[in-house]
Structure 1
Amino acid sequence: MASSGFCSLGPTVTSLFSSHALARWRSSSISPPPLRISRALSAATTVPISSSFTWDDVIETGREEYTPHNSSDLTGFLEKVNRCNRASEKLAEFIPFVIEEQIVGYIHKGFTEYLREFHDIFTFSQNGSCPDRVDGFVTLNLMLEKPEDRTRAVADVIKILGDKGIIPGIRNELYPVKPSFNAPVFFSLERAAAPYFGIKGYGVHMNGYVERDGQKFLWIGKRSLSKSTYPGMLDHLVAGGLPHGISCGENLEKECEEEAGISKAIAYRAIAVGAVSYMDIDQYCFKRDVLFCYDLELPEDFVPKNQDGEVESFKLIPVAQVANVIRKTSFFKANCSLVIIDFLFRHGYLLISPTISLSKETSYLRLYIPDFNALTLKNLLVLDLVMMII
């Protein structure tokens, strides 16, 4: 039974933070139950990001005929997965960020030098009492007992580091800091600072599609050139980070209105289809993101209208052509490619085999599939699957 996208979310599967956890997971003998969608994608080389293209470039790139049976080279899709899962070999350069004896993030040893100046706020331990690690951890001064006190104290630090250009792109938007999705919030942190503290971030990404004469089309947005991140690149019809104090359903509804002019009545039809996660290390930044994915079938005559100035324009493109654009270019914002690859699998544009053995070198796109009958994400299944080159 399909569920509405506006469902409550249960606890997510424990993420793979340390190299020890990665090793344990990769060597696990547990086999997932057979389902119609499951996949993990092998690594490939990183591709550059470019926003100097037009819609004409997008359409021309997608023209080549594409079906799941005539694409013998899926390297382009694998590259996009790899782009969001870089530098796992550098995990040892990070130490845990611990609050109330719970790991909430990971901070690069080099970045900790900036935090040591604020000794009345941050405390550094070398006694090895943190789970799974023996090289110390970072925590907050124990005098900061209440979430609001921690939020204010850390915000003062972020303001100083932002003014110095150490943490660029301050957005004045708070992310909750907690060890897992349903855990209590220990404090709130400026969104731009989240990757510098290795905080697990959450977002909602929605594929809006139209079906005409048996063919599916995706509405694709082109980000405004004034955006501070990924200006001019391709994006989903609707997507956004999940800030503190708002549910996934409420956030999706808000983003639908702001980004595409989708009414509440239509937005409520969005179906929760699972989630993808990735871990990406880029110098001092460690992104540990979980993207809750939604599908929304739109009326044939619907035309999106951006309301907040963050989208330059929209284009309705056949799904098969979108697949070609992802496979052959870097036009899409990096994590959007993962969510669309998930869409391609679920809607039959890419085929996989659940019987391929996983190697230690495999880079994973992890998928969490909700129990739709329960209308929650409480019964999450971790599916480790490998794309089959056809």
Structure 2
Amino acid sequence: MPDAQPPFTKLQLVERVDSWPYFTKDPEAYRRHMLDYHYFLIEGYDRPFGYVHSHFISEVSWPEYWKIDAEKRFLTLTTGTDFDTRSRLVYETLRKNHESQSVPALRYWAKEEFPVYDTLTGELVLNMDGCGTDMFGIVSFSVHMTGWVMTAEGIKIWVPRRAKEKMSFPGMLDNTVGGSLAAGEKPIDGIVRECEEEICLDPEYTRANIRACGTNSFQLTVTDLLEPACQHQVQYLYEIELRQDVVPKIGDGEVGELNLLSLEEVVEAMRQGEFKLTCNMTYLAFFIRHGYITAENEPDFVQICSRLNRYHDLFIA
């Protein structure tokens, strides 16, 4: 992660999140970076499904159906020719290490399964408990909604502060609503569910007023606990213009407080590093959609736009 300190420029906000190097920019530097990672492979498939930091290789107890090639840096699931078997074996691996409490990243059991796809063909190859997604460096999917109100002073955004009890980024500012997308769940159903759980929006109201706004995608070099790792993330983006008489309420305990902030206040909080890292990408996309950030007022506009939509190409360098 770049060593820049606040106040951050908008491009630095992007670089703090999309921190994984680009192969095409400097292939040799990319290969040096990958020396700290193993490729997560599944027997029968040619391409990796994720990148596993080497500290996980040494921390995790790997059952006999895993093969580790230290020279090539391959971590290969060698057993399982069908979806159910592969899912079961990965579950058993994660569960065993979770119960041993020997791997800090696996101490929290997500109780939600997330899909692992072949990024080339789109085949669903297995489901994995959420505690393993950052460790294995797979592509993960989430839904995020920006709730805003048009006031006499202009647009204002409902911005929550994360509860102090949250495991990651406690007490920091967040997207209006956001959450991971579970296996088999449609993005629209996921964001409607999250809106109800987190800010008590009526599902019928959400479905009638929400607007889909495309995706963000990026690749981090850390977990949400800021441990060295790989995160491939795709955000499905939504927004709602709320009437002034529709006031969100704190729902499931993940939110500590909820405040209505001007665009200028949101930008300044971003510049000062007050937001959970990936939220910066969600808000930058919102500002671009609404013409608040433009090619005329932002010198790094083209690079920011391109890095909000990174293509997740998993390959062996």
Cα 1:236/1:242, change in 2 over 3 Å: same
| Aligned-residue offset at 1:110 | 3.8
The answer on 1:154 being equivalent to 2:93 is no
Q: Following the alignment from structure 2 to structure 1, what is the Cα–Cα distance between the partners of residues 120 and 176?
A: 25
CA deviations on 1:51-109 (whole Å, 9 max, x unpaired) are: xxxxxxxxxxxxxxxxxxxxxxx943222212113353523322321234142111223
Q: Following the alignment from structure 2 to structure 1, what is the Cα–Cα distance between the partners of residues 205 and 83?
A: 37
The answer on 1:271 being equivalent to 2:211 is yes
Alignment of 1:119-158 (within 5 A): 119-124=63-68, 135=72, 137-142=74-79, 144-158=80-94
Contact 1:176 1:244 in 2 (8 A): yes
Cα 1:108/1:367, change in 2 over 3 Å: closer
Cα 1:305/1:164, change in 2 over 3 Å: same
| Aligned-residue offset at 1:357 | 11
Name the residue aligned to 1:79. Answer: 12
The answer on 1:94 being equivalent to 2:30 is no
Name the residue aligned to 1:366. Answer: 308
Q: Following the alignment from structure 2 to structure 1, what is the Cα–Cα distance between the partners of residues 261 and 305?
A: 29
The answer on 1:349 being equivalent to 2:292 is yes
| Aligned-residue offset at 1:214 | 6.5
Higher relative contact order (CA 8 A, sep 6+): 1
Contact 1:85 1:363 in 2 (8 A): no
| Aligned-residue offset at 1:136 | 5.0
The answer on 1:108 being equivalent to 2:18 is no
Q: Following the alignment from structure 1 to structure 2, what is the Cα–Cα distance between the partners of residues 261 and 160?
A: 37
CA RMSD of aligned residues (A): 3.0
Q: TM-score, normalised by structure 2?
A: 0.81
Name the residue aligned to 1:250. Answer: 189
Alignment of 1:53-64 (within 5 A): none
Q: Post-superposition, which runs of at least 4 consecutive aligned residues in structure 1 deviate over 4 A?
A: 353-359
> 5+ residue gaps in structure 1?
1-42, 49-73, 127-133, 369-379, 381-390
Contact 1:47 1:83 in 2 (8 A): no
* Between 342-351 and 161-170, the greater mean CA deviation after superposition: 161-170
Name the residue aligned to 1:334. Answer: 277
Alignment of 1:179-198 (within 5 A): 179-180=118-119, 183-198=122-137
Q: Following the alignment from structure 1 to structure 2, what is the Cα–Cα distance between the partners of residues 45 and 181?
A: 34
Structure 1 counterpart of 2:155, one-letter code: K
Q: Residue 273 of structure 1: SS of its match in structure 2?
A: strand
Q: Following the alignment from structure 2 to structure 1, what is the Cα–Cα distance between the partners of residues 121 and 248?
A: 33
Cα 1:183/1:312, change in 2 over 3 Å: same
Q: Residue 48 of structure 2: SS of its match in structure 1?
A: strand
Q: Following the alignment from structure 1 to structure 2, what is the Cα–Cα distance between the partners of residues 352 and 159?
A: 49
Alignment of 1:39-50 (within 5 A): 45-47=3-5
Q: Residue 330 of structure 1: SS of its match in structure 2?
A: coil
Contact 1:207 1:218 in 2 (8 A): yes
> 5+ residue gaps in structure 2?
22-29, 312-317
Q: Following the alignment from structure 1 to structure 2, what is the Cα–Cα distance between the partners of residues 322 and 274?
A: 21
Identical pairs, percent: 24
Contact 1:293 1:339 in 2 (8 A): yes
CA deviations on 1:256-306 (whole Å, 9 max, x unpaired) are: 100111112221121111211111113541111111111111111111112
Cα 1:346/1:181, change in 2 over 3 Å: farther
Would you tell me which structure has more helix in proportion to its own residues? 2
Name the residue aligned to 2:264. Answer: 320
Q: Following the alignment from structure 1 to structure 2, what is the Cα–Cα distance between the partners of residues 277 and 198?
A: 14
